[in-house]
Amino acid sequence: MQERQNIAVFVDYDNIEIGVKSTLRREFDVSLPLDALKERGDIVAKFAYANWSRQEPAVRQMAENAVQMVQRLPSPRGDKNGADINLALDALEMAFTHKNVNAFAIISGDSDFIPLVNKLRGYGKTIYIVGGKAFTSNILQQNCHEFISYESLLTDDVRVIPERKYVLGPVREPAPPREAIAPREQAPREQAPPREPVSQSSGQPSGGGGGYRRGRPQPLEVTQAMPLVERALSVLQRRGVQPQLGLLKSTMKQLDPSFNERSYGASAFSEFIDKMKVAGYIQLHGTEGRYTIELLSAAAAAAAEGAANKKHEALPLLRQVLEIYKLDMEDGASADSVAGWMSKIHADFDMKKFGYQEFNEFLNFAQDNFMVRMEPDEQRGMTVYLGAEFTPPVPDPEPEPLREMAAGASAASVLAESIAEEEATEAVAAAELPTEPEKPASRRTSSPARKRAAAPAKKVATSSVRRPRTRKPVE
C-alpha cells in the first residue's frame, strides 16, 4: 500500500505574486495551489513568507486559507534573498523535527531553491513545485517529483480575484460629457492606437503588458506528447509490467515532472488517452478501469517524427532576432515587443510546434540557456534584456593578496637591481684608484708588552679625567 502523503507547504509570496501578475495579469490566489495539493495528500502545515506590512490585500486571503504568515523583516542594506533563506531553514528544520512530514511543496519559481530541493530529495522526501511555466526555471521543474503549473489551475472565467487595475480589454478613461467634446478632438479618437503584438497561443498580448487579464493558454496538440508516451511505454515494457493508465501516468511524471494532461486540453488523464486513441496513436485493450495501452508502431513513428522539433531548436530563431534588434534591447524591451519582432522576422514561426503554450514560456527557456534575462515588472509586464551570451561577463579582478604579492615582488626586483648597480659602480671606482704598497707589519707592535703599555694611554686620551677621591681623616 502506498504511503499517504503528509505535505508541508512553503510559499515564497514575493516571487510567485510578481510572477503571476507580470505574466498572467492576475492576482495570485493561494487557494488554487492548495486545492491542487489536497488531491495529492493531506496538508499538515502552511507557511508564507513576505513583508506583510506591504501586502495588506493578501493578508486576508492568507487568513481565510489558514496560512501562517511569516514576517520578513527588511534590512537597511537590502534583503533580496531574505525570504529564501528563512524558507530554506524552516523547511530543513521541519524535515528533521517532524518525521511524519514526507512531502514538501514549494510555491515559487525561483531557481535558488534547487539546492534545497536536492537536499530534501536526498532525505527521501517527495517534492512538489508550484509555479508558472512562464517564469519558473526549467531546471527547477525537472528536478522535483511533480511540477504543477499555475496556468493549468486557472479557469476561463476572468473574474477570479477581481481587480480594478487589470480588467479584460484595454483600460479607458471615463467618457467626458458630450458637450465638452470639440469637433477637433474627435478626429484623433477615430483612429484606434495599434495594439500590442498578439500571442499566437492565446490571442492576447504575449508579455502581459496593457490592461489584459490572461486566461488559460491554448492547449497543445497531443502529437507533442508522443515522444514521452513512447518512452514511458518502453520503460514499462523493459520492466515487464502491463501498461495500465495509472502506471503509465506515474511513469510519465517520473520521466518528465512538468507533464500535465491539462496542457493538452484534457481535464483528466483518461481523457488525454482518449484523445490519443482518436488520433490513432494508441489502442486500448480490456474493460473500463483496467485498460492496457498498446502503441501503434506505424502511427507512433509518424507522430514521433512530426514531433521531432525539440524546445532548444527554436533558440537559433530567437538568436537571429536578438542580433537584429540588439540596440533596441539595451534598456530592455517588453515581451510583447520581442514577440512582435519574432513574428516580423519569422512569419511562419509557431511556438506550439516546439512545445510551447505561450511566448513567455519560450523566453523563460531561453533565459535558462543564458540567451536573455527576464525581470518581472508590474507596470511593463515581463521585461527582457540580453543575456550573458550577448554580454560576456567582465573578468573578475585579482584578489588583494595576489596584488600585494605582485607589488612586493616588483619592489623587491627593483631594489635588487639598484643594489646590483651600486655594487657594480663601486667595483669600477675601486678598480680605477691606484693601489698603495702594503707596509710590512712591525714586530714591536705585535708584542704583548707594547699592547699593554699603549692601552692605558689610549684610555686616558679618550676618557674624561677623574678627580681623586677625598679621604676622611682618621680620628
Q: Specify whether the CB–CB gap between 19 and 135 falls below 8 A.
A: yes
Report, as an integer, the average pLDDT of 26-50: 92
Cα 447 to Cα 438, 440, 451, 460: the distances in Å are 20, 15, 7, 21
- Express each pLDDT in 426-447 by its tens digit: 776 766 655 555 555 555 545 5
The answer to whether the beta carbons of residues 32 and 150 sit under 8 Å apart is: yes
Q: Are 212 and 337 in contact (CB under 8 A)?
A: no
Q: Tell me what pLDDT residue 403 has.
A: 58
Q: Which domains does the chain have, with CATH numbers?
A: 1-163 (3.40.50.1010), 219-307 (1.10.10), 311-386 (3.30.420.610)
Tell whether the torsion through CA atoms of 422, 425, 431 and 433 is positive or negative. negative
Top-confidence residue, 26 or 309: 26
- d(C-alpha 304, C-alpha 301), whole Å: 5
Q: What is the pLDDT of the chain when averaged over all its residues?
A: 75
> What is the dihedral angle through the alpha carbons of 362, 366, 372, 375, rounded to the nearest 10 degrees?
60
Reported confidence tier of residue 2, pLDDT bands at 50, 70, 90: low
Mean pLDDT check: name the lowest of 40-44, 284-288, 298-302, 425-429.
298-302
Question: For 190-234, what is each residue's pLDDT tens digit?
Answer: 444 444 444 444 444 444 444 445 566 778 888 888 888 888 888
| Contact between residue 6 and residue 44 where contact means Cβ atoms under 8 Å apart | yes
> What does R_g of the chain's alpha carbons equal in angstroms?
40
**What is the Cα–Cα distance from 55 to 60, expressed in whole angstroms?**
10
| Paired strand residues for 129 | 106, 147
Share above pLDDT 90 across residues of the chain, in percent, rounded to a whole number:
17
The C-alpha cell at 155 is: 479557469
Burial of 305 (0-12, 13-18, 19+ CB in 10 A): exposed
- pLDDT band of residue 85 (cuts 50, 70, 90) is confident
CB 361 within 8 A of CB 208: no
334-390 tens-digit pLDDT: 888 898 899 888 888 888 888 888 888 888 888 888 888 888 766 667 788 888 888
Considering only 6-15, 74-83, 178-187, 274-283, which range has the smallest mean pLDDT?
A: 178-187
Please give the model's pTM, rounded to 2 decimal places.
Answer: 0.63
- Say whether pLDDT at 460 is over 60: no
